[in-house]
Amino acid sequence: MVASLEDAQEFVLDYAQRFLDAIISANEEQKTSLSPRARAKTKKRSISSLMNDIVAFNLIEKLSDIPGIKFDLSYNQLKIIFSPNFILKCKKSENGKISYINTQSMFDFMHQLPTMLPNMPSPATNIFLVYEWNKTRTEINKVAIQCPAGKHSNFWEVPIALPSEPLPQITNPIPTATPLETGRVIPKPKKIKKLKNSKGLGNNEQHGKEN
């Protein structure tokens, strides 16, 4: 069963500030990691890969002190398990679409095929933490939590206000022809939901599938 928009908004309120910090600080770091001359010679996918690695590191750093959160680094892809409700992956979005390699595991994730994990009473809802760059890949234009309903649609999306944006209130879902609902959430950095049964990082596999 897919989590409701209301459950998602409550979840995002708890973790929005940490998600923002991880992404925005990663963007600042990737901007200064290469000289302008080296950046001009570097392919976009290499910059994306660098950003993805820094974001993954930052998310672990920002969330590792919270009991109950688990990290799975299998297949060189970070999954964050918020037991018992959500399994999160972080992805870059462009023009409203995320890029990924067509594998069975990603197909299962995108289509919400039931995923049972140890000590979880029911299948968790798969979600993406997405961010979008501007055209020059220097500033973050969007951060949101999306619940995929397949390759081209979402059950819902919860945008997270950027520091430069005004702080709007949570809005009611906007009905559309596809299973997409939206509601904006204002970060509350000091409100953290404590969970139980924390475990450490998962084991890395020897080969990667998804970036």
Residue range 112-148, pLDDT digits in tens: 876 656 666 567 899 999 999 998 888 999 999 999 9
Question: Are 122 and 92 contacting, i.e. CB atoms less than 8 angstroms apart?
Answer: no
pTM for this predicted structure = 0.75
Higher pLDDT pick, 204 / 24: 24
Query: Angle CA(206)–CA(34)–CA(31) in degrees, nearest 5?
Result: 95
Q: Quote the CA–CA distance of 163 and 17 in Å, as a whole number.
A: 10
Is residue 210, in this structure, part of any structural domain at all?
no
Print the domain residue range for 38: 5-159
- pLDDT number for residue 211: 43
In a domain, 206, yes or no: no
CATH of the domain at 13: 3.40.600
**How many domains are there within the chain?**
1
Which tokens sit at 52?
């993805």
Whether the bond into 84 is cis, omega within 30 of 0: yes
Whether 45 is in a domain gets the answer yes
The reply to whether 166 falls in a domain is no
pLDDT, position 7: 93
pLDDT in tens, 76-90: 889 999 988 899 999
